Chains A and B, each alone.
Chain A
Amino acid sequence: MLEIRAINKRYGTRQVLTDVSFGVASGRLTGFVGANGAGKTTTMRIILGVLSADSGTVSQDGVPLTSDDRRRFGYMPEERGLYPKMKVGEHLVYLARLHGLSPASARRNTIELLDRLALGERAGDLVQSLSLGNQQRAQIAAALVHDPEFLVLDEPFSGLDPIAVEVVMSVLSGYAAQGAPVLFSSHQLDIVERLCDDVVIIADGEIRANGPREQLREQHSRPRFELCTDADTEWIRAVPGISVLDLSGGVAVFEAETDAASQTVLRQALDRAPVTSFSQQRPSLATIFTEVVQ
């Protein structure tokens, strides 16, 4: 468990992070969502120790992180870049060795990872000769080549083609499945929605929402229900405590003032005709995001 607690950061007179606190649980994928300039990159740089916070702590299982701990992180910065004139394979071996791997395991990891990312044939090519998409894959390899115990990835999906997105998603899930905490930021809310167990939403340097994805959706659900039945649903308008939003044949969308009112609707519907579905409408992550950042 990686814990970020009460981080404050100021650039000159501008407060960029205010009391930022959240956790990244082991074995879970945590999505970090926010508009441009909301403070995602600054937070990630502070987690990695590249920047120092004005106050607050980053700790692992209650113990503040040291620079040695941080070496076991896999980091993909928002600003992408590798040495353009190094060969892809050599570059990855170099980074792995800087992390303390032996030459043999550095080479082994490099070959494995490049194969997994479908870059195996490019190991001998110069970084600058790769296409943008392949450079992006190499960048992801650079974050993973040293068997990191934590992953912090800033926008890992930007600039990837759909196939690469799938590859990277499976690699990240694989890491989480092995018990590593994985934190990544993304603009692509659909990916976060599909992939993440936990979601952290940041706006103007403040954490606006934070928790398991489903819990967030529940919290931001309005008491809005959808009922599908075989018979006409005109009768719902007469139920007390119910305001109907939409009626069309056997499908009704309504808001209930109380839980009891919605249950009454369900009971009566069952008395009248078979009910094919009755559900509370859950907002999408995009809806929640727009709601909490405002």
Chain B
Amino acid sequence: MSIPPRDRAATDRAPVRPRHPAPSFARSVWLVATREIMARLRSKAFLVSTGILLLISIGSVVAGSIASQNQTLPKVAVVGTAAQIVEQTQSFRMVEADDVAEAEALVRAETVSAAVVPGTATDAPLGVRVIALDSPPVGVLAALSITPTVSLLEPSTQQSGGLVYLVSLGFGLVFFMSAITFGSTIAQSVVEEKQTRVVEILMTTIPVRALLGGKVVGNSIMAFGQIVAIGLLVAIGMATTGQIGLLGTVGPSIVWFAVFFAFGFIMLAALFAATASMVSRQEDVGSATSPVLFLVMIPYFLVIFFNDNPTVLAIMSYIPFSAPVGMPMRIFLGGIAWWEPLLSLMVLLASTAVVILLGSRIYSNSLLRMGARVTFRQALRG
């Protein structure tokens, strides 16, 4: 038996091939995560949307401070010696009138909300008399009255309604935006790997769980980085525009929000990756991941509509999907025990672990199934 000549001499004989030890699991995860991060940083769409988000958050802080500085004091007309008394309150802008008749005219013309004129000793123990149009001007009276000292036995920590609404909108919106943005990014990158078939090479190179882990870690770092950047910008913005007081009230809940967000996002990321792995085309990503989108949208709407309903908020703060919004909101509103955020965090951690286990099972069972959408049963059974 002869083997026909084949030109083996012509092919280059490399020296004995070196053996490369397989990278550790953590190393593999990190390599995948780095690639994900680089891919995001090179994407113009990502850079533009991050820029817009940062601009919006800094803009809202600045707008808030401008609005609070321009709050106009009520105008009152003053006559003669009454001016001194009104000036002491520092609560009004004064319009000097020459006499009582002119002051009355100003009140009638509604250029001022009231007039303060010197009173005679008999009708005015305070030395001034207040003239108003049709009803006693409560604000003006309160500013000019002497009130006794009040001691509250159980001071309410209730925040004012407008601020509560703004903070709930802030938490809800930031969570919603980041989860949607990075969630769909993960989903797309999973399907990209499946659609371009590069996934089969990756699967023979590193464990599938390292691939999933790297995607989740990489995108979570980006999402978390974005949240931290927004948080810092808002804090710096508040500090420089003289809203330190507000920062003190909102600060702790922002820190808790960041912690909850980090773990909550990992859970969502695993879900996005798992559901996306069940389809093979970018066109199908939307429908495949829509159940997860609902999980993200529900807490967003709940916190906006029910930010004044303690029961709903209490339930929300323990359900893993809404805890990242619900718990910081309750911390902001105050009146919760110290262990409540910790317990909720435990629940979140446990469910994140379960979701990652299930998610990686779905993910590894679906990756090589091209074509028709994989059913949940197939994906879980393998």
Seen from chain A, the residues whose Cβ lies within 8 Å of a Cβ on chain B are 45, 48-51, 67-68, 70-73, 75, 77, 79-86, 94-95, 97-101, 105, 116, 142-143, 146-149, 170-171, 173-174, 177-178, 180, 194-195, 197, 212, 214-215, 218
Contact = CB atoms under 8 A, between A and B. Distances in A.
Contacts of A68: 22
A72 B204 contact: no
Nearest to B210: A98
Contact of A72 (B11, B14, B19, B197): B19
B13 to A, nearest CB: 6
Among B18, B204, B205, B370, the one with the most A-chain Cβ atoms within 10 Å of its Cβ is B204
B3 interface: yes
Contact of A98 (B17, B28, B199): B28
Contacts of A71: 22, 204-205
Contacts of A50: 200, 203-204, 368
A100 B27 CA distance: 9
Contacts of B16: 178
Interface string B1-43: 1110011101111101111111100001001100100010010
B198 A147 contact: no
Contacts of B193: 83
A243 to B, nearest CB: 27
B20 A195 contact: no
Nearest to B17: A147
B23 A100 contact: yes
A99 B203 CA distance: 11
B20 A67 contact: no
B197 A77 contact: yes
B192 to A, nearest CB: 7
Contact of A75 (B7, B21, B192, B204): B204
B17 A149 contact: yes
A49 B196 contact: no
A83 B189 CA distance: 10
A195 B3 CA distance: 10
29 contacts: A50-B368, A51-B368, A70-B204, A71-B205, A72-B20, A73-B204, A75-B200, A77-B200, A77-B204, A81-B196, A81-B197, A81-B198, A81-B201, A82-B196, A82-B198, A98-B202, A98-B206, A100-B23, A105-B18, A116-B12, A147-B20, A170-B7, A170-B11, A174-B8, A174-B11, A174-B12, A178-B13, A180-B17, A214-B2
B273 to A, nearest CB: 17
B136 interface: no
A94 B22 CA distance: 14
Nearest to A180: B17
A79 B197 contact: yes
Contacts of B21: 100
B31 A94 contact: yes
A85 B39 contact: yes
A56 to B, nearest CB: 18
A171 B10 CA distance: 10
A263 to B, nearest CB: 20
Nearest to A76: B201
Question: Which 9 pairs, one residue from A and one from B, show the smallest C-beta to C-beta distance?
Answer: A81-B197, A174-B11, A79-B197, A81-B196, A77-B200, A100-B20, A147-B17, A100-B23, A81-B198
Contacts of A148: 17
Nearest to A139: B201
Contact of A83 (B3, B17, B23, B198): B198
A146 B202 CA distance: 13
Among A97, A98, A148, A215, the one with the most B-chain Cβ atoms within 10 Å of its Cβ is A98
Contacts of A215: 1
Contacts of A83: 39, 192-193, 196, 198
B207 interface: yes
A143 B8 CA distance: 21
Given A77-B200, A98-B31, A177-B8, A146 B370 contact: no
A101 B20 contact: yes
Contacts of B206: 98
Nearest to A51: B368
Nearest to B23: A100
Contacts of B2: 214
A67 B207 contact: yes
A173 B8 contact: yes
Contacts of A101: 20
A174 B10 CA distance: 9
B196 A146 contact: no
B1 A214 contact: yes
Given A50-B368, A79-B200, A98 B11 contact: no
Contacts of B199: 81
B226 to A, nearest CB: 21
Contact of B22 (A100, A171, A197): A100
A215 B6 CA distance: 18
Contact of A84 (B1, B28, B196): B196
Interface string B167-208: 000000000000000000000000011001111111111110
Contacts of B201: 75, 77, 81-82, 95, 142-143
Contacts of B370: 79
A174 B9 CA distance: 9
Contact of B204 (A48, A105, A174, A194): A48
A151 to B, nearest CB: 12
B31 A178 contact: no
A18 B205 CA distance: 27
Contacts of B197: 77, 79-81
Contacts of A98: 23, 28, 31-32, 202, 205-206
A148 B22 CA distance: 12
Contact of B205 (A99, A197, A218): A99
